[in-house]
Homo-oligomer: A and B are copies of this chain.
Amino acid sequence: MSRAETPRRGSRSGRAGIRDVAAAAGVSITTVSDALNGKGRLPDATRRHVREVADRLGYRPSAAARTLRTGKSGLIGLTVTTYGDEPFTFTEFAYFAEMARAATSAALARGYALVILPATSRHDVWSNVALDGTVVIDPSDQDPVVSELVRQGLPVVSDGRPAGALPVTAWVDNDHEAAVLGILDHLADAGARRIGLLTGTTTDTYTHLSTTAYLRWCERVGQDPVYEAYPAHDPCAGAVAADRLLARPDRPDAVYGLFDPNGTDLLAAARRYGLRVPDDLLLVCCSESAVYATTEPPITTLSLKPRRIGTAVVQLLIDAIEGVESDQPVEQVIPTELIVRTSSERRSPRRTVSPPRSPEEG
């Protein structure tokens, strides 16, 4: 109350700045900064006083100024693959939604927020946002976005192991070969004689690894490969490919579909051709969607565990940003989970579907 009489002629910008708080509290800017950030050596009385004045003035520190000063923005980029103008493809919906949800959650828990950015290298958007690091989903071989980010010295963590010699900081992925081999063995165990594959025409790592694993398995067991490939970003093409696969003269008696909608597409196609599932046709597809638990019949699915992946990716990235010496390896393989349902149980289905337990009636 000694000499804080000049109230610093009206905060002209509308919002209160750190200067206004300092003036109102009768202390210096340094003291305010230290008090609010828990630094410096201040008696608790001063700290409380400053905090109270700041609250009273509704002071919110400028994120831009803080970012400029500290070099940290608290923002993490999340690149989404684009097909044409659309940010992410329909076939990846459930996976992406789950993965993004987990990533968002993990980031927020550590004080970071996620920024959605397109994988296409539009410099004007990318350079307009100050990022501390980036998560990229399934980067392509010579991804220009990744190169640019690395050149700027930003950590980059990818979902999906990087193709070629892409210099990412860390990556997280499933063991796609093992997953496919496991499914094929599972189908063979269930009595399948000729297993078909519904795959994609794109060149991403997931499609590539899965397809070659299938081909190797066929070679090993001496089966002729039976597969149809289609552009995975086109949902209609999937239905057509499923139909074509079941219309072949060498029709398979079991099919694994690499993409989420393949299950319903194959089921619809089987119905058209009068094939009973699982009696005439065993079905498995890779999906995160819950609908396959209640289809007729329920369909066996492979889950890639997107929530675990999203969490792991963000943890690795933030560790790299904050320079934490992580005890986790920088290359993490997340196990997949095969959720076995009726569609792949040829012999003696255990039991008929029972109604869900109602909490009221014991």
Contacts and interface: CB of A to CB of B under 8 A. Distances in A.
Interface of A: 14-15, 58, 60-68, 73-75, 80, 85-88, 90, 93-94, 96-97, 100-101, 104-105, 108-109, 111, 113-118, 122-125, 127-130, 151-153, 235-236, 239-240, 243-244, 261, 264-265, 267-269, 271-272, 289-291, 294-296, 353, 355-360
As for how many copies of this chain the complex holds, the number is 2
A294 to B, nearest CB: 4
A295 to B, nearest CB: 7
B74 A128 contact: yes
Nearest to A296: B296
Contacts of A271: 296, 353
Contact of A294 (B15, B152, B265): B265
Contacts of A62: 68, 130
Most buried by B among A123, A124, A261, A295: A295
Contact of A104 (B64, B87, B124, B272): B87
A125 B113 contact: yes
Nearest 4 A/B pairs, CB to CB: A64-B67, A63-B130, A64-B68, A268-B294
Contacts of A115: 75, 113-116
A101 B116 CA distance: 10
Nearest to A74: B128
B294 A267 contact: yes
A10 B239 CA distance: 60
B65 A85 contact: no
